């Protein structure tokens, strides 16, 4: 009986976790009107990024050193995104904009990073404080199809890549 209750408890936790992700599929991301491209040599315009058929949007607090360090790991996934015709881009906010721009240049990040000076993306979309849920797979209508992380853990990464396979390649 105890074993049965343990299994039921685990299943309930999994359902709650999945429900948290499924509930957001109807939510539409609202993009800020004023952004600055953090890398001057990028040829991607914000309107092109927002209007692309499939995109992965990453919100980054640039004052969080762990968050900015993850950018290079995300950059390693860039070829997967190109293969699947997905635009990859980040919206960043923080006090250290000039240091952050220098960091991006030195690390050779290949995807566009847009700076949101008044943090309207975070506020308007009422993002979760948990940074684990600041990466979004978004369709052409800017609906959130999946949210999670590509860098938090191997399980999260696999889950996100499976979502790409399930939604984008069908």
Catalogue all structural domains in the chain, each as residue range(s) with its CATH number. 28-167 (3.40.30.10)
Q: Which residue has the higher pLDDT, 134 or 20?
A: 134
CB-based contact 138:58 (threshold 8 Å)? no
End-to-end CA distance of the chain: 42
Q: Which residue has the higher pLDDT, 44 or 129?
A: 129
Task: Work out the mean pLDDT of the chain and round it to a whole number.
Answer: 81
What pTM does this model have? 0.79
């Amino acid at each position: 009986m105890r074993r049965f209750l343990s299994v039921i408890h685990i299943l309930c936790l999994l359902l709650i976790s999945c429900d948290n992700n499924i509930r957001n599929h109807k939510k539409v991301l609202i993009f800020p009107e004023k952004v600055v491209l953090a890398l001057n040599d990028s040829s991607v315009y914000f309107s092109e990024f927002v209007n692309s058929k499939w995109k992965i949007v990453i919100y980054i607090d640039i004052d969080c050193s762990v968050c900015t360090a993850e950018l290079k790991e995300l950059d390693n996934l860039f070829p997967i995104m190109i293969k699947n015709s997905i635009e990859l881009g980040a919206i960043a906010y923080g006090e250290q904009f000039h240091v952050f721009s220098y960091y991006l240049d030195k690390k050779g990040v290949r995807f566009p990073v847009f700076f949101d000076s008044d943090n309207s993306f975070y506020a308007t979309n009422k993002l979760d404080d948990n940074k684990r849920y600041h990466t979004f797979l978004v369709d052409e209508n800017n609906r959130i199809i999946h949210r999670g992380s590509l860098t938090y853990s191997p399980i999260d990464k696999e889950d996100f890549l499976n979502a790409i396979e399930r939604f984008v390649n069908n």
